[in-house]
Amino acid sequence: MTKPQSEVLVIGAGMAGLTAARTLAEAGISVTVLEARSRVGGRILTQRIGDQTIELGAEFIHGRPPELWALIAETGLETYERDGTQACFTNGSLQPCHQDERAFHLLEGLENYTGPDVSFTQYLSTLNASDSERISARSFVEGFNAADASQISVASLGVQQKAEDPIEGDLAFYLQGGYDQLPNYLADRIRDYAGTIHLDTPVRHLRWNAGHVEATTDTHTVTARRAIITIPLGVLQQESITIEPRPEAILNAASQLRMGNVFRITLRFREAFWKTLPPRPIEDLSFLFSFGEMPPVWWTTHPRSSPLLTGWVGGPRSAALAILSSSALEDRVCSTLAHIFGLRTAQVREQLLDCYIHDWRNDLYSLGAYSYVAAGGLDAPHVLSQPVEETLFFAGEHTDTTGHWGTVHAAMRSGLRAAKQIIEA
């Protein structure tokens, strides 16, 4: 059957799609949202175990982006800033980190970069830097951007660095009670303004001509005058949704971007053993860096007290953990933590209650963690942000034109931009 026509069809109920749909609905424009998953939120995925909140997708609020903080203020939810001790495991011992300032200067110098847009690996090869500085800088870029250093655009890193300053991007915050409260709030607002959200409704085909779109799902067809397509970059690149006629300029631009991969695992212990571990407990442990181990980065929920510890590896190295079985993975992470904290593996295992992961790499509706710009592709997000015959509009963190790719606020900005384009049209 054919559903009643809406003014705008939004494909995807992540933060980009929900932000766009909420903006349109409040402007009096009829909107229908189609979401393939059984929930809203996209790559925000919160799980609750007892009184513990476990984030399996987006976790931190990066800096003070105004659109995200405005939403948080509107919801009345509480936040708290991350702080505490950053510890490093080097030369067989755990100690406070002594930041390699020279390695970070290799990145900070990119803010005013005017050279050719090569990969970060190629850029590093031109610098007068030690091997340890190169390794440190490369590890940071791959971990933070979920990127392959041999592919990520050095010019995009410069844009990203410059974009961080106005929003105080070096700060990080937690949302008390779980990140999923934000997409759930937006979904409620859409319904309050008579918008419609259909879950468990993957779009298979999208046929369009100027001023008309027709989306076919497994059970029905939805028509509208315009569509905002907010599917993640990996899904767009794979053309999981067949779009006819094919938007060649959009898909060519998407091919200049990359979907990065990460592997993250959150461990729930009986107690936060690192707070009482002799001879030197770390009661305020925040981040733990162990670049010679796997995973190389860990963090706690400090200053909120909990027995949770999250391990993280981004970029190509993430594949080494992603292919392990559950038992082999538990062995690996317990062995790593035992080595770092000077314990026996059995002691760590005795403390371990559960492990929590989500395989975004093989999730059919994400096909990766978040996007980055490949060398030579800096103009691609701008192309993706342009309407196709005032009928197809694309949004999502990969279409952000402000240098904040891979973030929740980038997704929101893209949704606001697409909604504004439709309202002005």
The pLDDT tens digits for 352-379 are: 999 999 999 999 999 999 999 999 999 9
- Per-residue confidence at 288, pLDDT binned at 50, 70, 90? very high
What average pLDDT score do residues 106-121 get?
A: 88
Q: Is the pLDDT of residue 404 over 90?
A: yes
Tell me how many domains the chain contains. Answer: 1
The pLDDT value given to residue 258: 98
CATH number, residue 206: 3.50.50.60
Is residue 154 in some structural domain? no
In a domain, 74, yes or no: no
Task: Measure the CA–CA gap between 89 and 16, rounded to whole angstroms.
Answer: 38
Lowest-confidence pick of 96-110, 212-226, 341-355, 361-375: 96-110
- Is 125 among the domain residues? no
Q: Are 263 and 318 in contact (CB under 8 A)?
A: yes
pLDDT above 90 for 134: no
Alpha helices by DSSP H, listed for 181-309, are 181-192, 233-238, 248-254
Residue 219 lies in a domain: yes
Q: What mean pLDDT value characterizes the chain?
A: 93
Q: Looking at the predicted structure, is the pLDDT value of residue 103 above 70?
A: no
- Domain limits at 18? 6-45+180-259+375-424
Nearest-10 Cα torsion for 229, 235, 236, 240: -90
Q: How far is CA 15 from CA 11, 251, 408, in A?
A: 12, 22, 7
Q: What DSSP designation does 378 have?
A: T
Question: Which of 275 and 128 is assigned the larger pLDDT?
Answer: 275
Asked if residue 338 belongs to a domain, the reply is no
Q: Is the pLDDT of residue 106 over 90?
A: no
For residue 420, tell me if it sits in a domain: yes
Tell me if 144 is assigned to some domain: no
Residue 3: predicted pLDDT? 47
> Does some domain include residue 200?
yes
Phi and psi, residue 331, nearest 5°:
-60, -45
For position 425, what pLDDT does the model report? 85
Query: Tokens representing 354?
Result: 């559960």
Query: Would you state the pLDDT for residue 263?
Result: 94
CA–CA distance, 269 with 52 (Å, rounded to integer): 11
